[in-house]
Amino acid sequence: MTGLIPPSICNLSSLMYLSLSDNNLKGRIPQCFGSLGLFMLHLQKNNLHGSIPGTFANLSYLTSLDLNGNKLEGRLPRSLVNCSLLEVINVGNNTIRDEFPHWLGTLPELKVLVLRSNKFHGPIHYSKSLFHFSNLQILDLSHNEFKGFLPRKLFLNLRAMMHVANNEPEAQYIGDYYRDSVVVTMKGLDIEMTCIITIFTAIDLSHNNFQGEIPGILQNFKSLIVLNFAHNSLTGEIPSALENLKALESLDLSSNKLYGSIPAQLESLTFLSLLNLSYNQLSGTIPRGGQFDTFTSDYFIGNKGLCGRPLPKKCYNDLKLQPPPPISEGEDDNTIEFVWKIAMMGYGSGLVIGLSIGYIVFSTGKPWWLVKMVESGQQKIVRRYGR
């Protein structure tokens, strides 16, 4: 379908489900849609422009609003707070310019909020509303211009992502006669979920200007499957308490300013199939075992202080355990005598230390300071054990 939305649709007084998605529709969204008794309105992937009508306040039965992938601008209409049955709001991939709509937290049934790829900006303000996103399962604020510290007070209210059912929950879908869809950045790829499973949970705040440390409150998100903080300005260390996120499958902290070591506790995350820590300021040895043995070097590059598998850079602890290179033919008697002195020092002070000194000798060309140390050590050994 191409062209404008036919105005005759506004005459369908009994219309409950309206989907005009994946067409080439242009123009503005008709104001008269607010007078229809719609349960669902899907207009995604068109060329609609202009602002979102404020008349949506009259859609008291609306449960799903999907305007993703258009050219809509302006601000989100505050009248959406009157749509108390809304479960899904997807306005991603438009040019909407607004602050974070904390006022949507009063919607008691809201499960999916997608604002990705717009021009939302500023810090995440907290509102002391009654519900405040307590049933939210998917929060996608990626590819915007948000800034400031990560919203710890908001995280405190996302209780649906903390809940873990005692029994294995039955897989159901959001929506009744229709199926909602959403694009989720998971495991490094943009995946379109044509049906949103009620047990799927995700937080994506990537590609913004957030700063500060990763809030410790996230350790309570035991049902979270996707966590993406990539491409921000986060600092501090990676909390070891993230080991409590037992359902986590995708964790992306790449392109930040995180420092310190990688917590070995993350080995216990048995479902974790992606851990992207590239382009930070991390240091130390990459943990081994568990899912870490399946990760490629791409997930750790850009951290000058990291070493160990799967990176080609060896760790110091690995290097010092390597034996010295063999003596090639043609070595003079003085070199052989010097090696014997090193071996004697190893006998007196430990084999590993002796071999380590030997490695230094052959890799640096028998430095004068080490010759003096060996000769002095030999005298001590002779006095203690005799020739």
How far apart, in Å, are the Cα atoms of 372 and each of 343, 348, 349, 358?
15, 17, 17, 14
Nearest to 199 by CA among 229, 242, 167: 167
Structural domain boundaries in the chain: 2-313, 333-385
Q: Looking at the domain that runs over 2-313, which CATH code has it been given?
A: 3.80.10.10
Categorise residue 120: left if φ over 0, alpha if ψ from -120 to 50, beta otherwise.
beta
Instruction: Give the neighbor-by-neighbor strand order of the sheet with 233-234.
Output: 121-122, 145-149, 209-212, 233-234
User: Distance between CA atoms of 242 and 165, rounded to whole angstroms?
Assistant: 19
Contact between 201 and 161 under an 8 Å Cβ cutoff? The reply is: yes
User: Distance between CA atoms of 70 and 38, rounded to whole angstroms?
Assistant: 20
Residues near 332 by Cβ (< 8 Å), separated by ≥ 6? Answer: none
Global pTM value: 0.79
User: Distance between CA atoms of 370 and 378, rounded to whole angstroms?
Assistant: 12
Tens digits of pLDDT across the chain (387 residues)? 788 998 888 888 788 899 999 999 999 999 888 888 889 999 999 999 999 998 887 788 899 999 999 999 999 999 999 999 999 999 999 999 999 999 999 999 999 999 999 999 999 987 777 778 999 999 999 999 999 999 888 899 999 998 765 554 555 555 554 556 677 776 667 776 656 666 789 999 999 999 999 999 999 999 999 999 999 999 999 999 999 999 999 999 999 999 999 999 999 999 999 999 999 999 999 999 888 999 999 999 999 999 999 999 999 765 544 445 554 554 444 544 544 444 444 434 333 334 344 444 434 444 433 444 444 444 443 344 444
How far apart, in Å, are the Cα atoms of 296 and each of 17, 74, 261?
46, 43, 18
Enclosing H/E stretch for 337: helix 333-349
| 229: its two tokens | 């903080």
Contact between 292 and 286 under an 8 Å Cβ cutoff? The reply is: yes
3-state secondary structure 64-86: EEECCCCEECCCCCHHHHHCCCC
